[in-house]
Structure 1
């Protein structure tokens, strides 16, 4: 039985600039059942401030402490280990690193930089890695559903290219990192086994959650989902449903 719900954003609650049918009502139903919520995303083309504003614009009731992005964990690691960031990220994300230290050795931080994944920027990151800088990956998703409805390259292929070229293994801060899921569950005061994850990515969302010890993982056939995804990654999702409305029904029926 779910005692708290972890929700992916893009592909589950909205698609580009469009709220998915029934998503706002589904989230309201979960709240009405006194189920604490956390919104988990690997999206790194927006700052946390922009994400929260977008969710609220769409009609979702959410507070800042309910939204989990990989950036906060990466910034905490940089501070704890005495590094300043060498950023290979989208320009919109730079504000989230504004308070990071400006001195000390550098660590390369990679997110979905979009058009900023130029040869010059990638090569500068590669040279920093060859000089001994650690590599921090905010996400390593292979692709995502873009605003035009088509699939686009995400940060993962570029993280792997830097790993391959430099021989440096990236430390992951977003999904499917177990620490990411466990931190979200802990913020609600939950045993991971009592949490349910809802996502459209069978690799990062559902398999990642189950491998981390999350008790239930629901894969929705929206967003980036492709037929047969539930059979491509292990552990397999607990169940596969059409959309967030059906996922909500499944949770509330068990609850």
Structure 2
């Protein structure tokens, strides 16, 4: 029985500054049903506070603690392990790490750095990795849907550094099972009681299924025809958009409630 919901943001709820049609109403319908939900995102161009403000502008009030972001997870890992990051991230994200020591870096952190992915920065990261620094990333996503079409994400740059430095990156965002399970625990649920909704077949759906959740791939955002065939694990579902995904969850939940009550 569904007892909690996780929802991706970019490509599922919004594209840039614009709501995906019907998405905010769908979130409200899930809330009104009594099902708890959390937002989980690998977005690495905006801080959690910025995301909260964006959702507010779209008409959705969300407590900051209900937004699980890969940058926050990575920051927690750095603090826990006493690491000093070399930040190869978007300029907006630097404030997320401002309270950490960054002199004499002993870890490389990668997000969607955009113009910061230039040769000097990549080469500095490569040299640190060759000296034994760990490579930490917010995700391995290849691309995402921007307001003007598909755009490269951080994944290709992560792979380039892995290849050059003969190392393996540790992912702190989706599809990391730990990332999903932290949000599940915050819901007070077991993994099998939670449904993840997102537009990325690999990070959102396969990642959630691997962590023991159920998952729905929506045909918005970065979705392209046939992406559902990239889901390698059984149990993934397909919906036209977040509105249809919400309807699927709520109708199934009502049926399960009736069966449980013997009606």
Bucket of the pairwise TM-score, normalised by the shorter protein: over 0.9
Q: After TM superposition, list the pairs within 5 Å mapping 1:141-156 onto structure 2.
A: 141-148=141-148, 150-156=149-155
**Partner residue of 2:126?**
126
Q: After TM superposition, list the pairs within 5 Å mapping 1:163-202 onto structure 2.
A: 163-202=162-201
Deviation readout 1:191-225 (Å, 9 max, x if unpaired): 011000000111110111001111x2011111000
Deviation readout 1:55-76 (Å, 9 max, x if unpaired): 1111112110100011222122
Aligned residues of 1:4 and 1:196 also touching (Cα < 8 A):
yes
Aligned residues of 1:230 and 1:236 also touching (Cα < 8 A):
no
**Partner residue of 1:107?**
107
Matching of residue 213 in structure 1 with residue 212 in structure 2? yes
- Give 3-state SS (helix, strand or coil) of 2:183's partner: helix
Q: Distance in 2 between matches of 1:103 and 1:76?
A: 18
Q: After TM superposition, list the pairs within 5 Å mapping 1:79-94 onto structure 2.
A: 79-94=79-94
CA-CA distance at 1:101 after TM superposition: 3.0
- Give 3-state SS (helix, strand or coil) of 2:249's partner: helix
CA-CA distance at 1:105 after TM superposition: 5.1
Moved more, 131-140 or 68-77: 68-77
- Give 3-state SS (helix, strand or coil) of 1:240's partner: strand
Aligned residues of 2:86 and 2:105 also touching (Cα < 8 A):
no
Aligned residues of 2:86 and 2:102 also touching (Cα < 8 A):
no
- Give 3-state SS (helix, strand or coil) of 1:25's partner: helix
CA-CA distance at 1:151 after TM superposition: 0.7
Q: After TM superposition, list the pairs within 5 Å mapping 1:237-248 onto structure 2.
A: 238-248=236-246
Aligned residues of 2:52 and 2:61 also touching (Cα < 8 A):
no
**Gapped runs of 5+ residues in structure 2?**
254-263
- Give 3-state SS (helix, strand or coil) of 2:38's partner: strand
For normalisation by structure 2, the TM-score amounts to 0.93
Q: Which has the larger radius of gyration?
A: 2
Q: Distance in 2 between matches of 1:169 and 1:18?
A: 36
Q: Distance in 1 between matches of 2:66 and 2:208?
A: 17
Moved more, 228-237 or 151-160: 228-237
For normalisation by structure 1, the TM-score amounts to 0.96
Q: Give the direction of change, closer, same or farther, for the CA distance of 1:102–1:153 in structure 2 (3 Å limit).
A: closer
Q: What do you get for the CA RMSD once the two structures are aligned?
A: 1.2
After the TM superposition, which segments of 4 or more aligned residues of structure 1 sit over 2 Å from their partners? 101-105
Q: Distance in 2 between matches of 1:237 and 1:101?
A: 43
Q: Distance in 1 between matches of 2:202 and 2:235?
A: 10
